Structure 1
Amino acid sequence: MDSMDLDSSGVPPRRTLPTILCCLCGVPITANPSNMCINCIRGQVDITENIPKTSTIYYCKGCARYLQPPKHWVAAELESKELLALCIKRLKGLNKVKLVDAGFRWTEPHSRRIQVRLLVQKEVFNNTILQQEFFVEFIVEYQQCDMCKRDAADIDEWQAVVQVRQKVVHKRTFLFLEQLIIKHGAHEDTVGIKAHPDGLDFYFLHRSHAMRFVSFLNHVVPIRTKQADHLVSHDTNSNTYRYKYTFSVEILPLCKDDVACLPPKVHVLLGGIGPLVLITKVSTSLSLIDPFTLQTAELAAPVYWKYPFQALMSFKQGTEFAVLDVEKSRERKGKWCLADVTVARSIDYGKNDSQHYISTHLGNFLNPGDLALGYDLGNAVFNESLLAGHKRLQLPDFLLFKKTYSKKNRSKRRMWRLKRLNMELDDAVVETAYRKSNLDPIARMAAEQEEFLQDLEQDQDLRTNINIYRDPTKFKPIPSQMDVDQGNPVPAATQNRQVVAEDGDEDDEDYPEVPIEELLEGLNIEDGPDDFSAPSRAQPSS
């Protein structure tokens, strides 16, 4: 710096901007890059010209929520921060300016008008920032949300129905499928659900919702679908047609723990597995295992529908065995291990000393003194056509498929619950289907549901796919020692919880239980059907 630019104290002098005249109105101003005064800049430039000054917001009177496009509904009070954020998101062009402040201007609550005050900034010229305040008026229009539409709609007003069926004698698959539907919220678009002896009917207001539901089913269970439509009405003047659509969904008629004999073509296609196999898992494909060689394979749904076959025996036909001795071999594959076990049928106790020597794949799960379920193939009666193509096949007398436990009522000690779908039970259909059954339909459904709950307790892999909730009636707060000494109540937010045990209810020490860490909070019993109670009965719709 030149010494001539310094004053006597050695500090450079403060430079001041010159005063010029505004190029438009001639008012003296401090020099700026635009050479215009503030009033002229505001008259020449409008930084809010790309922002709409009026807009529309949709409000549902049934649930007092506002629409956040495309289809999300948000609950917000008047002049709340949630409503302010919703209104600001509705404005286009705000991304081109900087939002400094926002707020509401008071309007009459019944005027259906919401006015929002916005303060924005934008650089209009080189190093010239303009700040401007303006108001945007939102017109509140009434629109019914999808949830209120489903509540107000009659089930007879459906446009599409998805009929899910499985040709088996139990509800095991549907109980598991119901939990998958609840976990992923696939039932949110339904206007009604009806339970039938061999499946469920899901009713929808729109055909697209039914197609999305069928797509969900195709990603969780092996199915095949058929579609049909029925002409309801036709307006010749406007040339419009009204149809009702029916989607028939058939689930593969095989379940976990079933034993089957593969057809020759499938036997060769899967690398020579079996042909006598056990089904270990049912998802989008079938997981198979040869219980004598530990060979495993995956059977895709299209292959099954091309070469269909039935199960020789289902888990309902299982026989209980007592394990007397176990000799494990070195051949292992994953969680499976070959073993030679000595078993005796539970029904033979006290009658004879008959023992049986069986080769099984459950070596890692069985110990002397355990109980196991197996198939008595030697005394079973089934259709010989299921063994067609395997003339030299020799079936074993017995085949174990699962470790089990003594039959007891464990519902009193169960500290968790499952949510249920709100479905109707058609009395006419139920009476026709269960006419020859010795059990009442409700009692039979309760028995099947209890079996499903015990399967969840015994199979950890099965629990990973569904949501299990804590039963609030089985937990109680544990007050701290300080609160006990002082006699102060325990705040709800800091309560620890313990399981309430039933007096006099003894259970097996080795019986598996669902860990507390796997249980979820949030189950509200008052919201609707959330436990394994029977579906509500309803008269057939006219």
Structure 2
Amino acid sequence: MPSFIWTEPHSKRIKVKLKVQKEVVRGAVLEQFHEVEFFVKEFMCESCMRVEANPDQCVALVQLRQQVPHRRTLFYLEQVILKHGAATNAVKIVQTKQGIDFSFGKRSHGVRFLEFLGKVAPVKPCDWQDNKHLKSHDSRSYNYNYNYALVARISPICREDLICLPPEVAASLGNFRPLVICTKVTGNIVLLDPFSLRHCFMESDHYWRASFESLLTSRQLVEYIVLDVEIVSHAVNVGGSKYALADAHVARLSDFGNNDTIFSTRTHLGHILKPGDYALGYDLYGANFNDSELEKHKNLVLPDAILIKKSYEEKRGKKRGKPRSWKLKFLDIEIKDKGKAEQDKMRSEYEQFLKDLEENPDMRFNVSLYRNKEYQPSDTASMTDGEDVPSIPLEELLADLDLSEDEDGDSNMVG
């Protein structure tokens, strides 16, 4: 049997001791030991060698952009791209202010990546032929080399946004109510009427023909405290998520204890809200709108508040600073130096993205979650800490393959 002979780890040599046997005559076996030495040489693949020789060598450039004041959608797309391996052919990935640039060595790789983006996000269709310029050509063989560039614009409509549909769009969707909530964004945009639980799926092409924007975004959410909840209908499954209509009495948390202002509103969160809970919603009572689509609906009566989701910030405060039992992987993205304010903003948005993953099982469907080896549950922690706070079940976590040098060193054998 072969056995390994110990060598210095930095020598880049592998020695194996082999025992060779052969029967020369009946009952007589000739045996001899022989040492085989292997040399470890590092080399790069063909595409990496071209990039190393010329870092600016890029045939197709896909510029992913979204005109919104946050990066939560880009964080989600990064995880979807990682899970499906859509950017394995990218030779360079650079983070920009409002998006990410993907460079590919072949036009076909960029086209395939763009087709993938169209399946997971509402991307505006573009034509590669209109975004190319001549790089070089050979007049004798009539060979032309082009560089292709494309801006893949993602719809500014994000999950949890409040939207006022244009009259013609509301009519085309089956006389939908103007005020709707975006509950899910994939290749289509899922809209929900929080007052009747009607929902619809708007295709990407349909959206870009109308091209409207959100009335209020998730950065304008206000925290409310729930005073009373009266169930109107039983819980139903709407577009893969559970909702129930209820009449709720709420007060802004900032006003609670200062005045007696109470708002009555109908909500789709009757299945999870109860008196004493906190909820995040849009304050239409004190908001100032400058939206042209809203002015087209002359007889539209705005509610005082629209609740979007249940808030767990108070309960999460007990676990703030503690590591999670799961973690995510990242793309190899080049990030330019940013100021402290920009870094703090990115850190806050990423933390909110992690909370969204814990609260929304639908988002986790296209995301690979891994066990965090550094997580150690505390035996002395109170059993009530973080009670009722959404968490990710252990059965959804994957084992992270980590080939460490220590494990490799233990496998060496001395002959």
TM tier, smaller: 0.7 to 0.9
Match of 1:298 in 2: 201
Match of 1:516 in 2: 394
- Residue pairs, 1:248-327, within 5 angstroms: 248-327=151-230
Which whole-Å deviations, capped at 9, do the CAs of 1:448-469 have from their partners, x for residues lacking one? 0000001111112211221100
Structure 1 vs Structure 2 CA RMSD: 2.8
Shift of 1:313: 0.2
Q: Does 1:420 align with 2:330?
A: yes
Q: Taking structure 1 as reference, are residues 188 and 448 closer, same or farther at Cα in structure 2, changes over 3 Å only? A: same
Match of 2:300 in 1: 393
Shift of 1:332: 4.6
Partner Cα distance (2:404, 2:258) in 1: 52
Unaligned runs of 5+ in 1: 1-77, 79-107, 111-142, 432-438, 476-498, 528-542
Shift of 1:508: 2.5
Secondary structure at 2:125 match in 1: strand
Which whole-Å deviations, capped at 9, do the CAs of 1:415-437 have from their partners, x for residues lacking one? 1100011111234xx57xxxxxx
Number of residue pairs the alignment of both structures matches: 360
Match of 1:210 in 2: 110
Partner Cα distance (1:154, 1:415) in 2: 42
- Residue pairs, 1:354-503, within 5 angstroms: 354-406=261-313, 408=317, 410-427=320-337, 440-475=341-376, 499-500=377-378
Which whole-Å deviations, capped at 9, do the CAs of 1:395-417 have from their partners, x for residues lacking one? 11110011111253645141110
Shift of 1:320: 0.2
Secondary structure at 1:387 match in 2: helix
**Contact kept? 2:264, 2:304, Cα under 8 Å:** no
Match of 2:97 in 1: 197
Q: Which has the higher contact order (CA 8 A, sep 6+)?
A: 2
Secondary structure at 1:183 match in 2: helix
Q: Does 1:219 align with 2:124?
A: no
**Contact kept? 1:150, 1:190, Cα under 8 Å:** no
Q: Taking structure 1 as reference, are residues 297 and 173 closer, same or farther at Cα in structure 2, changes over 3 Å only? A: same
**Contact kept? 1:412, 1:502, Cα under 8 Å:** no
Partner Cα distance (1:202, 1:470) in 2: 29
Q: Taking structure 1 as reference, are residues 506 and 266 closer, same or farther at Cα in structure 2, changes over 3 Å only? A: same
Q: Does 1:353 align with 2:260?
A: yes
**Contact kept? 1:163, 1:199, Cα under 8 Å:** yes
Partner Cα distance (2:234, 2:398) in 1: 39
Shift of 1:350: 3.1
Larger radius of gyration: 1
Which whole-Å deviations, capped at 9, do the CAs of 1:72-103 have from their partners, x for residues lacking one? xxxxxx9xxxxxxxxxxxxxxxxxxxxxxxxx
**Contact kept? 1:160, 1:210, Cα under 8 Å:** yes
Q: Taking structure 1 as reference, are residues 204 and 411 closer, same or farther at Cα in structure 2, changes over 3 Å only? A: farther
Report the AA paired with residue 284 of structure 1. G
**Contact kept? 1:155, 1:191, Cα under 8 Å:** no
Shift of 1:474: 1.1
Secondary structure at 1:313 match in 2: coil
**Contact kept? 2:181, 2:191, Cα under 8 Å:** yes
Shift of 1:285: 0.6
Q: Taking structure 1 as reference, are residues 389 and 522 closer, same or farther at Cα in structure 2, changes over 3 Å only? A: same
Shift of 1:149: 4.5
Q: Taking structure 1 as reference, are residues 329 and 198 closer, same or farther at Cα in structure 2, changes over 3 Å only? A: same
Q: Does 1:158 align with 2:65?
A: no
Report the AA paired with residue 285 of structure 1. N
Q: Taking structure 1 as reference, are residues 192 and 502 closer, same or farther at Cα in structure 2, changes over 3 Å only? A: farther
**Contact kept? 1:186, 1:213, Cα under 8 Å:** yes
Percent identical residues: 42
Q: Which TM-score applies when normalising by structure 1?
A: 0.62
Shift of 1:162: 0.3
Match of 1:47 in 2: none
**Contact kept? 1:155, 1:203, Cα under 8 Å:** no
Partner Cα distance (1:203, 1:513) in 2: 36
Partner Cα distance (1:157, 1:109) in 2: 39
Which whole-Å deviations, capped at 9, do the CAs of 1:345-378 have from their partners, x for residues lacking one? 1111332232221111110011111110000112
**Contact kept? 1:294, 1:332, Cα under 8 Å:** no
Secondary structure at 1:472 match in 2: coil
Partner Cα distance (2:73, 2:66) in 1: 8
Partner Cα distance (2:208, 2:259) in 1: 45
Partner Cα distance (2:336, 2:232) in 1: 53
Partner Cα distance (1:502, 1:441) in 2: 37
Shift of 1:382: 2.6
Partner Cα distance (1:283, 1:233) in 2: 39
Partner Cα distance (1:355, 1:166) in 2: 37
- Residue pairs, 1:211-250, within 5 angstroms: 211-226=111-126, 227=128, 228-250=131-153
